[in-house]
Amino acid sequence: MRVFSGVQPTGNIHIGNYLGALRQFVALQDEGECIYCIVDLHAITLPKDPSELRSHILDVAALYMAIGLDPKRSILFVQSDVPGHAELSWILTCCAYTGELSRMTQFKDKSRGNESAPAGLFLYPVLMAADILLYDADVVPVGQDQKQHIELTRDLAVRVNNRFGDDTLVVPDGRFLKEGARVMALDDPTSKMSKSAESEMSRISLLDDDAKIKKAIMRATTDSDGEIRYDIERKPGISNLLSIYGAFSGRSVDDVAAQYQGQGYGSLKKDLVEVTVDALRPIKERFCEIRPSGELVDALRDGAERANAIAARVLARVQGKFGLGV
Ligand code: AQP
Mean pLDDT throughout 79-96?
A: 98
110 carries an active-site annotation: yes
Q: Mean per-residue pLDDT for 134-154?
A: 96
With 90 as the cut, is the pLDDT of residue 106 above it? no
Residues near 63 by beta carbon (within 8 Å), at least 6 away in sequence:
12, 13, 206, 207, 283, 287
**321 carries an active-site annotation:** no
Whether 306 shows a pLDDT value over 90: the answer reads yes
- Per-domain residue ranges for the chain? 2-180+294-322, 200-287
Determine the Cα–Cα distance for residues 172 and 146; give it in Å rounded to an integer. 13
What whole-number percentage of the chain has pLDDT above 70? 99
Helix axes 295-322, 147-164, angle to 10 degrees: 40
Cβ proximity of 208 and 280 under 8 Å: yes
pLDDT at 301 over 70: yes
Rounded mean pLDDT, 269-280: 98
Same CATH fold assignment for domains 2-180+294-322 and 200-287:
no
Asked if the 200-287 domain carries CATH number 1.10.240.10, the reply is yes
Q: Which atom of ligand 1 is nearest to the CA of 8?
A: 17
Mean pLDDT, all residues of the chain:
95
Assess contact for 276 and 248: CB atoms under 8 A. yes
Give the pTM: 0.93
Task: Report whether CATH 1.20.1560.10 matches the domain 2-180+294-322.
Answer: no
SS (H, E, C) 34-45: EEEEECHHHHCC
Tell whether ligand 1 has an atom less than 6 A from the beta carbon of residue 146: yes
Residue with CA at minimum distance from ligand 1 atom 2:
16
Q: Calculate ∠ Cα 35-6-319, nearest 5°.
A: 65
> 248: buried, middle or exposed (CB in 10 Å: 19+, 13-18, 0-12)?
buried
Q: Is the pLDDT of residue 178 over 80?
A: no
The dihedral built from the CA positions of residue 296, 300, 302 and 306, taken in this order, carries a sign that is: positive
Q: Which of 153, 204, 155, 164 is nearest to 16 (CA)?
A: 204
Least confident of 86-100, 108-122, 133-147: 108-122
Q: Express each pLDDT in 15-67 by its tens digit.
A: 999 999 999 999 999 999 999 999 999 999 988 999 999 999 999 999 999 99
In this structure, how many other beta carbons lie within 10 angstroms of the beta carbon of residue 299? 24
| Each residue's pLDDT tens digit, 111-128 | 887 888 999 999 999 999
Q: How far is the CA of 254 from the centre of ligand 1 (A)?
A: 25
What's the CA-to-centroid distance between 16 and ligand 1, angstroms?
7
**Closest ligand 1 atom, CA of 43?**
30
Check pLDDT > 90 for residue 222. yes
Ligand 1 binding pocket mutation candidate from 13, 17, 37, 60 (most atoms within 8 A of CB):
17
Known active-site residue 195 = yes
Q: At what angle do helices 50-66 and 295-322 cross, to 10 degrees?
A: 100
Torsional class of 172: left (φ above 0), alpha (ψ -120 to 50), beta (otherwise): beta
**What does residue 209 show for φ and ψ, rounded to 5 degrees?**
-80, 170
pLDDT for the residue numbered 180: 64
Query: Which is the catalytic residue, given 48, 178, 195, 215?
Result: 195
Atom of ligand 1 nearest to the CA of 6: 18
